Amino acid sequence: MSAVLQRDSVTAIRGSVLTFTGDPSVEDSARSMRYESDAIVAMYGGLIVDFGAAAEVLQRLPPGTKVTAYAESLIMAGFIDAHIHYPQTAIIASPAEHLMDWLDRHTYVAEQEFSDQDHAREAARVFMRECLRAGTTTAAVFCSVHPESVDAFFDEALARNMRMIAGKVLMDRNAPQKLTDTPQRGYDESKELIARWHGRGRLSYAVSPRFAVTSSPEQMELAGSLWHEHDGTFLQSHVAENRHEVDRVKALFPERKGYLDVYDHYGMLGSRAIYGHGIWLDEDELARCHASGTALAHCPTSNMFLGSGVFDLANARKARRPVRVALATDVGGGTHFSMLSTMHDAYKVARLGGRSLSAAHAFYLATRGGAHALCLEDRIGSIATGMEADVIVLDLKSTPLIEHRMRHCKDIDEALFVQMILGDERATRAVYIAGEIGWTRDERVSA
């Protein structure tokens, strides 16, 4: 670490640290996972500037640097939620028969209120608070169709210096009139939002056609062009979540080979394209995701809540054509902001499908794996010198039951498994955003 660092400006934290250097579903966890039982992470200028065994890092810190110690905790990279809808925060836990019924009865009603900027701002604040409480430091976020909803969201994210990805939903058919734009209006408004927000602070824009059901061919065409015209932007949408939805898309686009081919046709696949769900994609479609670098966001709490189906993560990650997969909550279809709870349901979904999911793999998906899916693994998702300092501290004994169960853990793999099955947002002890404390459990700092 450079000697010019001032001791007052370095934030140093000490405790057990977990991070990933590779994918534990590909290489064994001894090679892909790094666990240090007593380490220091030093942060300065928004970045991690030192990480290693405490005894070594202590020698290198500027003399007199204050070191905050977190006992019985785990320091790790902030969680990444690769697919979530902030306007749906207030309708989380709303029952329905299935996806389309849920959209009509709850989602489309709630999203209409986001034409009001004050309403949107308040919702964005609640949303950020819940993300921070859950230890989520980056999310790929759908706003509503209204540009006001995007301004409110990015304003709040900028104020917290968070790395966030978001965009205005595009919809020009099969939705209530108050929630529809037109192909040209959606294009123009998105373009203005990109100019205003993309690359500002740590914000990135995502062109966000809701899904093929609610966009005409003309809108899809313009959405694909818009994405290609703006370097570094993301594209996010939904694909193959529900079997009736798949049939509907086939009926709406009969000339296409299948659901994914609709997006392919309009140039919407590739690196930085991320699609929620993908439960019902077939082998050819998964191969196409792999070949194009398209990512899928696995949303287990949502898939179980809406009864959408059982995503086969192991099949999606098949060694000869691994698809980039991230983990996501999909709130408000999803039922929890907590990525620990989401890992818990990912485990159960895997078991329902006759598979398993190791804790190391689940923690990887929620951190470095998510960053890889979003093509951001050189910036976020792991603890290493030069990475952005989005760091969380998990309490390993956050409830009496967990405390009791942890007494019987023999190694880190078992401890991680217990955390993923029993833990939730109560485990989040502290959250550092770009090296600054953004939230602590006992005291709300900026949320």
Least Å distance, CB 308 to Zn ion, is 10
Q: Which is nearer to Zn ion, 156 or 330 (CB)?
A: 330
Least Cα distance to 13 among 397, 430, 445 occurs for: 430
Q: Which is nearer to Zn ion, 258 or 276 (CB)?
A: 276
333 binding ligand GUN? (CB under 6 A): yes
Question: Which of Zn ion, ligand GUN, none has residue 147 at its interface (CB below 5 to 8 Å by kind)?
Answer: none
Question: Which of ligand GUN, Zn ion, none has residue 241 at its interface (CB below 5 to 8 Å by kind)?
Answer: ligand GUN
Burial 211-241 (b: 16+ CB within 10 A, else e): bbbbbbbebbbbbbebbeebeebbbbbbbbb
Name the strand (E) or helix (H) holding 121: helix 117-134
In the stretch 213-252, what mask flags binding to ligand GUN with x, by CB under 6 A? Answer: -------------------------x--x-----------
Quickly tell me which residue has 């015209």 as its tokens.
229
302 binding ligand GUN? (CB under 6 A): yes
Question: Which of Zn ion, ligand GUN, none has residue 150 at its interface (CB below 5 to 8 Å by kind)?
Answer: none
276 binding Zn ion? (CB under 5 A): yes
Residue in 129, 163, 202, 210 binding ligand GUN, rule: CB under 6 A: 210
Taking the C-alpha atoms of residue 106 and residue 256, their distance in angstroms, rounded to an integer, is 31
Tell me the window of 12-20, 99-107, 143-151, 192-200 that interacts with ligand GUN (CB under 6 A).
99-107
Residue in 14, 85, 198, 361 binding ligand GUN, rule: CB under 6 A: 85
Residues 6+ apart with CB under 8 A from 412: 18, 35
In the stretch 224-253, what mask flags binding to Zn ion with x, by CB under 5 A? Answer: ------------------------------
290 to 285, 294, 406: CA distances (angstroms) = 9, 6, 39
107 binding ligand GUN? (CB under 6 A): yes
Least Å distance, CB 137 to Zn ion, is 20
The rounded Cα 209 to chain-centroid distance in angstroms is: 18
In the stretch 321-340, what mask flags binding to Zn ion with x, by CB under 5 A? Answer: ---------x----------
Residue in 148, 330, 395, 425 binding ligand GUN, rule: CB under 6 A: 330
Residues 6+ apart with CB under 8 A from 18: 33, 34, 35, 74, 75, 76, 363, 383, 412, 416
Taking the C-alpha atoms of residue 263 and residue 258, their distance in angstroms, rounded to an integer, is 9
Q: Which is nearer to ligand GUN, 103 or 394 (CB)?
A: 103
Q: Which is nearer to ligand GUN, 16 or 149 (CB)?
A: 149
Q: Which is nearer to ligand GUN, 211 or 263 (CB)?
A: 211
Number of residues counted as binding ligand GUN (CB under 6 A): 11
Token code pair at residue 20:
């990933």
Taking the C-alpha atoms of residue 447 and residue 434, their distance in angstroms, rounded to an integer, is 15
Q: Which is nearer to ligand GUN, 170 or 286 (CB)?
A: 170
Taking the C-alpha atoms of residue 57 and residue 329, their distance in angstroms, rounded to an integer, is 36
Quickly tell me which residue has 């990887």 as its tokens.
364
Q: Which is nearer to Zn ion, 330 or 395 (CB)?
A: 330
Strand partners, 11: 43
Taking the C-alpha atoms of residue 209 and residue 220, their distance in angstroms, rounded to an integer, is 7
Q: Which alpha helices (DSSP H) does 239-299 contain, by range?
A: 243-252, 259-265, 283-292
The rounded Cα 174 to chain-centroid distance in angstroms is: 27
Residues that bind ligand GUN (CB under 6 A): 85, 99, 103, 107, 210-211, 238, 241, 302, 330, 333
